[in-house]
Chain A
Amino acid sequence: MLRLFATIKKEFLILLRDKSGLAILFVMPVALVTIMALIQDAPFRDYQEMKIPLLLLNKDEGDLGKKISAGLKDSKIFEVNYFNGTTEAARIAIAGGKYQIGIIIPAKATNLLDHKIDFFVNATLASMGLTDSTASTTAVQNSSEPVLVYFAPDIKKSFKNSVLSSIRQVAAKLESQSLIESFKKELSNAGTPEAHSNTEFGDFITFREESAVEHPVTNLELNSVQHNVPAWTMFGMFFIVITLAGSMIKEREEGSYLRIRTMPGSYFTVMAGKIISYLFVCLIQFSLMLMVGIFLLPVFGLPQLTIGSNIPAIILVALSSALAATGYGVLVGTVFNTHQQSSTFGAVSVVILAALGGIWVPVYVMPEVIRVIAELSPLYWGLNAFQTLFLGGGDFSSIWANTSKLLIFFALTVGLAYFINKTKNN
């Protein structure tokens, strides 16, 4: 025990005096969490929250123009800016980036829609023998000018589709309302009693949104903070690889490892001292990251981090992740012979594992092959477990698979490091 405590004390003293190492371990993850949460805040926000600036040029003097205008305003997705100018001027304003979307409602659009609907209603009723089949059949012979939708050139396809879908929804509602009105009018003219004259039709198919998890954290959705804090905390923990591996290589290069090997105490005592010290550092790092999410990020106008209520489970995931990170550090420090090799490999491999683990982009948007590979990344296991606890209100049963993988990863890396070390020394 004395040897273990002596090693832990020695590691802490060395770490405390390594200013650049401490900067990597603490300043870098705090900066990453803050910057990434701020940068990714907008993409993570719902379009409804964002209020997309929209230019509306309404040339129609009838109801359609007014209803589209009102529908867009009611949708709460758009910040409607009314434009009084030509279509070309509107197009230039959008192309110049002043607005991201422009909608041009052509002149006489109401008349055209009414004619189309009359034609459709008459044709339908005539086929049912309720009206005269010759009425108004030529109403839609005129070619129609479409409602123009302009997009700024830098708009993403997914964003474009989402906006178009919202506009179509407004248009479809107007169409169906006009159709119903027209049917009612024609049926009334045909002598059929007017049904539900004052009835407002709601949606025929209704939807209710529910969380798939059993005990969701109330009203909480994945936002920039909920993603970035656990994600970059995992990244920061694994970045300990550089400092830990560096310390092992430094000991070999400076000769102090030679002394350690000749002194009493097994390889595991020496490694345990190192692992416990760095484990402690990882846990401090983890606590710091949570505090950044809870206290610092809201200062910048970001949502506050919610961590759920299962603190023991969170500690278990943090411990397992920290063990996996230190185990990986011990392996890298054993395999490589120079500080340069280990820091380059350590940094690049952690970045790759982070990319695969969904630190930057959620895994579900990745190609299928990458999704399969992603499941091999310890950062993915840790992030998944944290998200389960933070967003899904999960318990021990929902995180055991990921924590087991992290602990097995730790055992494998330390075991492998032991055999490589033994082979190297012989």
Chain B
Amino acid sequence: MALGIAIEVKNLSKTYKGALVPAVNNISFAIPKGEIWGLLGPNGAGKTTTISMLCGLLAPSSGDIHLNGLDYSSQRDAIKKIISIVPQDIALFPTLTAYENLEYIGNMYGLKGAMLKQKINDSLEVFGLLENADKRIEKYSGGMKRRINLIAGILHQPQILFLDEPTVGVDVQSRNIIVEFLHRINKEGTTIIYTSHLMEEAAELCTGIAIIDHGAIIASGKPAQLVQQYECLNLEDLFLKLTGRTLRD
């Protein structure tokens, strides 16, 4: 494993029980540390399956995964401490307050006491939620939930952060804060793996992308280079050129 590689995947495959074709078919890629790397693809292409395997939520059928040099098959506990996921759904406890949610999550990562309290308050302040710290999540608006969902993912300052459609359903102001914050933590050293259907946002945010379809990576590289290589107008044009215009389920 080369130094400076955040994620290295070799011959990764996943076939679900009873399925005739693999959801992910023998993919290999490497993501350097410090990247904001976009995994793009239409519905059912294999994005979620790939991310789930990288996060340890799903066991691969075959292949190897290394995160920051740690082997997933034998060093899973160590890996859990350095990664985080911000799923598309709000993965929080709705009847707990924002503070209680973050305190629980912080404790699970070994954070406690005054340091944890400081981290929670700082994060809530950055995302404009400090005044609502003692409000239950179920009472939050959609945009507030998205922001607190993101804070829950970055509280322990993960080395690798997986983001699944982090800005879906948020207003322009919330989206702006989220994107700015992602740039900030990326500059501070966090490698970000990002999936989205928003090509404009991906082009703005990502330093590298891979387009996946039918379980295989069909293109990867820097967004601008790929657009140029395939003689497209922009990332959306490239996406449609590579994945087709047929509707997907």
Using a CB–CB cutoff of 8 Å, the interface residues on chain A facing chain B are 2-3, 5-7, 9-10, 13-14, 17-18, 251, 254-256, 258-265, 425-426
By the criterion CB–CB under 8 Å, are A264 and B87 in contact?
no
Complex Cα–Cα for A251 and B93 (A): 8
Determine if B77 is an interface residue (Cβ-Cβ < 8 Å). yes
Determine if B5 is an interface residue (Cβ-Cβ < 8 Å). no
Instruction: Note all chain A residues with C-beta closer than 8 A to B178.
Output: none
Chain B proximity of A292: nearest CB distance (Å): 29
Instruction: Note all chain B residues with C-beta closer than 8 A to A261.
Output: 56-57
Chain A proximity of B102: nearest CB distance (Å): 11
By the criterion CB–CB under 8 Å, are A6 and B87 in contact?
no
Complex Cα–Cα for A262 and B67 (A): 14
By the criterion CB–CB under 8 Å, are A10 and B93 in contact?
yes
Determine if B18 is an interface residue (Cβ-Cβ < 8 Å). no
Determine if B100 is an interface residue (Cβ-Cβ < 8 Å). yes
Known: A262-B83, A262-B85, A425-B58. A255 touches B91 (CB 8 A): yes
Instruction: Note all chain A residues with C-beta closer than 8 A to B136.
Output: 17
Instruction: Note all chain B residues with C-beta closer than 8 A to A18.
Output: 95
Interface size on B, residues (CB 8 A): 31
Instruction: Note all chain A residues with C-beta closer than 8 A to B100.
Output: 10, 13
By the criterion CB–CB under 8 Å, are A264 and B77 in contact?
yes
Determine if B140 is an interface residue (Cβ-Cβ < 8 Å). no
Nearest CB in chain B to that of A270: its residue:
B108
By the criterion CB–CB under 8 Å, are B112 and A256 in contact?
no
Complex Cα–Cα for A251 and B58 (A): 18
By the criterion CB–CB under 8 Å, are B105 and A262 in contact?
no
Chain B proximity of A393: nearest CB distance (Å): 45
Determine if B152 is an interface residue (Cβ-Cβ < 8 Å). yes
By the criterion CB–CB under 8 Å, are B109 and A256 in contact?
no
Across chains A and B, the number of contacting residue pairs, with CB separation under 8 Å, is 79
Chain B proximity of A246: nearest CB distance (Å): 13
Nearest CB in chain B to that of A265: its residue:
B108
Known: A10-B100, A258-B85. A5 touches B56 (CB 8 A): no
Nearest CB in chain B to that of A9: its residue:
B104
Instruction: Note all chain A residues with C-beta closer than 8 A to B95.
Output: 13-14, 17-18
By the criterion CB–CB under 8 Å, are A254 and B112 in contact?
no
Partner of A264, one of B80, B85, B92, B93: B80
Known: A10-B104, A17-B95, A264-B81. A258 touches B57 (CB 8 A): yes
Partner of B91, one of A17, A258, A425, A426: A258
Partner of A3, one of B90, B107, B152: B107
Complex Cα–Cα for A60 and B6 (A): 109
Besides A13-B95, A262-B80, A263-B109, 16 more A-B contacts (Cβ < 8 Å) are: A6-B103, A10-B93, A10-B96, A17-B95, A17-B136, A255-B87, A255-B90, A256-B91, A258-B89, A259-B105, A260-B108, A261-B57, A262-B56, A264-B81, A425-B59, A426-B58
Which B129-159 residues have a C-beta within 8 angstroms of A? Answer: 136, 152
Known: A10-B96, A10-B104. A259 touches B57 (CB 8 A): no
Chain A proximity of B195: nearest CB distance (Å): 15
Complex Cα–Cα for A3 and B104 (A): 8
Instruction: Note all chain A residues with C-beta closer than 8 A to B89.
Output: 254-255, 258
Determine if B244 is an interface residue (Cβ-Cβ < 8 Å). no
By the criterion CB–CB under 8 Å, are A14 and B93 in contact?
yes
Complex Cα–Cα for A263 and B55 (A): 10
By the criterion CB–CB under 8 Å, are B90 and A14 in contact?
no
Chain A proximity of B213: nearest CB distance (Å): 25
Instruction: Note all chain A residues with C-beta closer than 8 A to B103.
Output: 6
Instruction: Note all chain B residues with C-beta closer than 8 A to A259.
Output: 85, 87, 91-92, 105, 152
Most buried by A among B84, B90, B95, B108: B108
Nearest CB in chain B to that of A251: its residue:
B93
Instruction: Note all chain A residues with C-beta closer than 8 A to B87.
Output: 255, 258-259
Complex Cα–Cα for A261 and B55 (A): 9
Q: Mark B58-84, 1 if CB is under 8 A from A, else 0.
A: 110000000000000000010011011
Complex Cα–Cα for A103 and B77 (A): 83
Determine if B94 is an interface residue (Cβ-Cβ < 8 Å). yes
Which B98-117 residues have a C-beta within 8 angstroms of A? Answer: 100, 103-105, 107-110, 112
Nearest CB in chain B to that of A10: its residue:
B104
By the criterion CB–CB under 8 Å, are B107 and A256 in contact?
no
A–B complex contacts, Cβ < 8 Å, 15 sampled: A10-B104, A14-B95, A17-B96, A254-B91, A254-B92, A255-B87, A255-B89, A255-B91, A258-B57, A258-B85, A259-B152, A262-B56, A263-B80, A263-B108, A264-B80
Complex Cα–Cα for A259 and B80 (A): 11
Nearest CB in chain A to that of B111: its residue:
A2
Chain A proximity of B166: nearest CB distance (Å): 14
By the criterion CB–CB under 8 Å, are B107 and A2 in contact?
yes
Nearest CB in chain A to that of B162: its residue:
A262
Partner of B110, one of A2, A14, A251: A2
Known: A255-B90, A259-B92, A262-B83. A6 touches B57 (CB 8 A): no
Chain A proximity of B168: nearest CB distance (Å): 14
By the criterion CB–CB under 8 Å, are B55 and A262 in contact?
yes
By the criterion CB–CB under 8 Å, are B107 and A425 in contact?
no
Complex Cα–Cα for A9 and B105 (A): 12
Complex Cα–Cα for A261 and B87 (A): 12
Nearest CB in chain B to that of A422: its residue:
B59
Instruction: Note all chain B residues with C-beta closer than 8 A to A14.
Output: 93, 95-96
Complex Cα–Cα for A10 and B92 (A): 11
By the criterion CB–CB under 8 Å, are B112 and A2 in contact?
yes
Instruction: Note all chain A residues with C-beta closer than 8 A to B152.
Output: 259
Instruction: Note all chain A residues with C-beta closer than 8 A to B92.
Output: 254-256, 259
Known: A259-B85, A262-B84. A3 touches B108 (CB 8 A): yes
Known: A264-B108, A264-B109. A256 touches B84 (CB 8 A): no
Instruction: Note all chain B residues with C-beta closer than 8 A to A6.
Output: 103-104, 107-108
Instruction: Note all chain A residues with C-beta closer than 8 A to B93.
Output: 10, 14, 251, 254, 256
Complex Cα–Cα for A251 and B104 (A): 14
Complex Cα–Cα for A265 and B110 (A): 10
